[in-house]
Amino acid sequence: MATLVVVTGGSAGLGAALLETAPGDAYRVDVSRSGSAPDGGSHLALDLADPASWDVFAAGFERLVDEQPWERITVIHNAGVLDPIGFAGEVDGDAYRRHVLLNSAATQVVGHAVLAAIRELSCRRELVFISSGAATNARAGWAAYGAAKAAGDQWVRAVGLEQQVRGGVKVLSVAPGVVATAMQEQIRTTAERDFPGVDRFRQLHDEGRLEAPGEVARRLWALLDDPQVGTGTVTDLRER
């Protein structure tokens, strides 16, 4: 089966694991600022925090879709940042704007571009947003991050309803849990003044309760094969 797998933020962490564990016949594409072509695939060098990159992504993805008659197309939007961690009104303004552009705006723009490129196809099609428990659990120091993930979840719910009317794309939002990535390392080194809840994440690490990226990635791929998971689903992998 000819499968196209595109992962934003696929150069490291969960994104890299998702590419590594993709179906064996897949043509893999990493979309990230700094990365390299995965085995059996290619790399699209883009900074999705820059609005100028959004049209480039849309055009590049459309070219990939048109390359051959794919039997399956899966796009996982994993790109995101936690910087700057800190209270709204106190953190660096430029960094805050980049955060909002990448985590909030780019998510919806990427989702729209993907659906526009694949809406007329009849093959198996999937669009997945990587969410977070922060979408429903407010944390001081993560206001922008939580707001972005909540917005992505709601986008998926609404677009899922749309795809049931026409389109037929399976659109999901998946919170992976606490994964052993560089983002978790960043969290643990944050001062309590900027993130009052930091002790919980240090404790999770000390107790060995962080999940390996590869294991989380394999569970996410299994989720996509579950026929009971319909379009518009927002789920937490820890609850499955």
Structure confidence at residue 25 (pLDDT): 87
CA distance 237 to 10: 19
Q: Does the structure show a pLDDT above 80 at 50? A: yes
* Percent of the chain topping pLDDT 90: 90
In which domain, by residue range, is 53 found? 3-176+213-239
Predicted confidence (pLDDT) per residue in 164-205, tens digit: 999 999 999 999 999 988 889 999 999 999 999 999 999 989
pLDDT at 34: 86
Instruction: Please report, for residues 27, 57, 131, 178, 187, the alpha-carbon distance to residue 43 in angstroms, rounded to integers and kept in the order given.
Output: 11, 12, 23, 27, 28
Q: Is residue 219 part of a domain?
A: yes
Q: Structurally, how many domains does the chain consist of?
A: 1
* pLDDT exceeds 70 at position 1: no
Q: pLDDT by residue (tens digit) across 58-91?
A: 999 999 999 999 999 999 999 999 999 999 999 9
pLDDT digit string, tens, across residues 29-46: 999 998 788 988 999 999
CATH number, domain with residue 50: 3.40.50.720
* Residue 132 within any structural domain of the chain: yes
In a domain, 202, yes or no: no
Q: Is the pLDDT of residue 209 over 70?
A: yes
Is 188 inside a domain boundary? Answer: no
In the chain the beta strands, taken as DSSP E runs, fall at: 3-8, 26-32, 41-45, 72-77, 124-130, 170-175, 233-236
Residue 90, C-beta contacts closer than 8 angstroms, at least 6 positions apart: none
pTM exceeding the 0.85 threshold for the entire prediction: yes
Spatial distance between the Cα atoms of 240 and 224, rounded to a whole number of angstroms:
13
* Residue 119 pLDDT level (bands cut at 50, 70, 90): very high
